[in-house]
Chain A
């Protein structure tokens, strides 16, 4: 049982390049989330999904797209990377329910030059 995994762990991009971050969970969770964490800003929700085939915008969705084609995977795409997207990206998942814990992946460190 690997929990939540993220690929890649670290990436350097040039401005304007595109990439996809992959999140996978093996806990059969309904909900999945993408956050970014910047110094002094805390965790901010980018997009989330409450089930396979559904996605919704969070606090800071601009410049990102997501897809949840399979229940266990949640992809985050950057179509044209900008230096402002330099951050640590965390994926999380949880069961549905008010008291359910979110389980986080180890994070992806992205540097956009």
Chain B
């Protein structure tokens, strides 16, 4: 079983829509959680960290449910520039190791 599982999509939504991505992780000892964004043919970049209490950054809201080992990302009022692949990332218990989901592809259309 993979460490991190994501729905690969693709998700195709109109501008202004709200879209949610989900992710599950297998190691209950995982310590930190993140969402990264990757544009086509570019490197991944940190979008936001995910905290147990949930956190928000503008139109983006991330939530963590440790009991269910589940992470989510909500994007409100989608923009064309949100089109990208969103990677769910988990830091395991091994020093320095991150585990990446396969990514969920989002396309926002006008």
Mark A residues whose CB is within 8 Å of B.
Answer: 31, 33, 35, 40-45, 48, 50, 58, 90, 94, 96, 98-99, 101-102, 104-107
Contact = CB atoms under 8 A, between A and B. Distances in A.
A42 B103 contact: yes
B66 interface: no
Interface string B3-45: 0000010000000000000000000000110100000001111
B44 A106 contact: no
Interface residues of B, number: 20
Contacts of A106: 42-43
Interface in B76-105: 87, 91, 95-98, 100-103
Interface in B30-62: 31-32, 34, 42-46, 49
Interface of B: 8, 31-32, 34, 42-46, 49, 87, 91, 95-98, 100-103
A43 B45 CA distance: 13
Contacts of B96: 31, 33, 48, 50, 94, 96
Contacts of A33: 96, 98
